[in-house]
């Protein structure tokens, strides 16, 4: 193909991509300004499409559930699978509601419990930075917004940049709208060093899938599971107190944020101790409210013998 043809084809492709993005953004914005009753009406329709029509990652979800709950029969697994998809659709639309939701409504729908607020208030009074560990459990997106509106610490969230720059910018806008700041995963150490003098809480979503050759292995939900060493090693390096945060669904569209100190001084722990603590704590939450964890993630795509 001649050079000029390649050039114009590339420009045309970018134009089409931009048009697609702005059409998608317009639709998502309209969803965002919709009242919650209408948002959940759309969520119910989305559930029919995701679960019954296209079966989005249904094989992965069913396999994960069967492995995690070997004691449950086929009917129980099917019921749990449907409950998960209904929640996943709610979560998807609730996330985009962040584009326009007011501060007042955000705090009404995602509340920090008094006990959780007291945990962070104590560390703020002591002038100590903390590391937050949590999982893809409940509405983790909303929890950052409420934290930034209530707590004195500057919240930094470790995130993985999306390959699509426009949609990455959209997600960035939503996550930082109420004061949260983001640190790209590969810049974690540098970012934390840079912000060392800032009274902060740095949040790690600790249930993602690491390279199996450089992971801590444990048993999680009845399966051999690799866990990132990064959270533990960074906590020990900075000696920040480790706080486990849980976002539990109270009813449709409403959540409570709970928090508890897991480790006061990480530099006194041994290898694997911190990873075991936050993994066991997340497992407890999942067993109590399994439908609100992200079962569509390929959490167990690696085996221990692959290391």
State pLDDT tens for residues 13-64: 454 455 676 787 788 889 899 999 999 999 999 999 999 999 999 999 999 9
Let me know: does 130 contact 242? Beta carbons within 8 Å: yes
264 burial via Cβ count (<10 Å: 0-12, 13-18, 19+): exposed
Rounded-to-integer distance, Cα 289 and Cα 287, Å: 6
CA atoms within 13 A on the CB side of 293: 26
- Shared-domain flag, residues 141 and 287: yes
Residue 161 lies in a domain: yes
The β-bridge partners of 203 are 132, 157
Rounded-to-integer distance, Cα 94 and Cα 245, Å: 19
Residue ending a domain, choose from 73, 97, 121: 97
- Shared-domain flag, residues 46 and 129: no
Residue 300 lies in a domain: no
Identify the pLDDT of residue 124.
97
Confidence of residue 246 (pLDDT cuts 50, 70, 90): very high
Main-chain phi, psi angles of 163, to 5 degrees: -70, -30
- Shared-domain flag, residues 93 and 113: no
Residues 6+ apart with CB under 8 A from 64: 295, 299, 300
Confidence of residue 166 (pLDDT cuts 50, 70, 90): confident
Name the helix (H) or strand (E) containing 63: helix 58-68
- Shared-domain flag, residues 92 and 150: no
- Shared-domain flag, residues 159 and 276: yes
Let me know: does 204 contact 192? Beta carbons within 8 Å: no
pLDDT: is 159 or 80 the higher one? 80
- Shared-domain flag, residues 114 and 19: no
Main-chain phi, psi angles of 107, to 5 degrees: -75, -25
Domain count, the chain: 2
- Shared-domain flag, residues 161 and 206: yes
Query: What residue numbers bound the domain in which 77 lies?
Result: 3-97
DSSP strand pairing (254-263 vs 241-251): antiparallel
- Shared-domain flag, residues 207 and 255: yes
- Shared-domain flag, residues 125 and 205: yes
- Shared-domain flag, residues 93 and 115: no
């Amino acid at each position: 193909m001649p050079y000029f043809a390649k050039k114009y084809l590339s420009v045309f492709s970018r134009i089409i991509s931009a048009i697609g993005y702005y059409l998608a953004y317009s639709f998502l914005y309209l969803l965002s300004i919709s009242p919650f009753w209408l948002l959940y009406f759309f969520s119910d329709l989305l559930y029919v499409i995701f679960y019954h029509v296209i079966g989005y990652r249904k094989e992965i979800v069913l396999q994960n559930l069967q492995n995690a709950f070997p004691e449950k029969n086929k009917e129980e697994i099917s019921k749990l699978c449907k409950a998960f998809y209904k929640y996943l659709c709610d979560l998807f639309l609730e996330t985009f509601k962040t584009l326009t939701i007011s501060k007042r409504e955000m705090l009404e729908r995602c509340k920090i419990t008094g006990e959780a607020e007291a945990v962070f208030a104590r560390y703020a009074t002591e002038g100590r930075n903390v590391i937050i560990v949590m999982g893809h459990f409940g509405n983790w997106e909303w929890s950052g917004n409420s934290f930034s509106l209530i707590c004195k610490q500057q919240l930094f969230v470790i995130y993985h940049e999306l390959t699509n720059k426009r949609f990455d910018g959209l997600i960035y806008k939503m996550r930082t709208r109420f004061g949260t700041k983001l640190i790209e995963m590969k810049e974690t150490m540098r970012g934390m060093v840079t912000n060392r003098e800032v009274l902060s809480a740095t949040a790690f979503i600790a249930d993602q899938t690491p390279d199996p050759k450089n992971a801590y292995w444990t048993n999680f939900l009845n399966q051999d599971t690799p866990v990132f060493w990064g959270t533990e090693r960074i906590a020990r390096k900075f000696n920040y107190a480790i706080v486990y945060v849980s976002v539990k669904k109270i009813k449709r569209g409403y959540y409570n944020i709970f928090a508890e100190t897991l480790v006061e001084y990480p530099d006194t722990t041994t290898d694997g101790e911190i990873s075991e603590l936050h993994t066991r704590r997340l497992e407890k939450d999942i067993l109590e409210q399994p439908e609100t964890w992200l079962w569509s993630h390929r959490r167990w795509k690696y085996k221990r013998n692959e290391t």
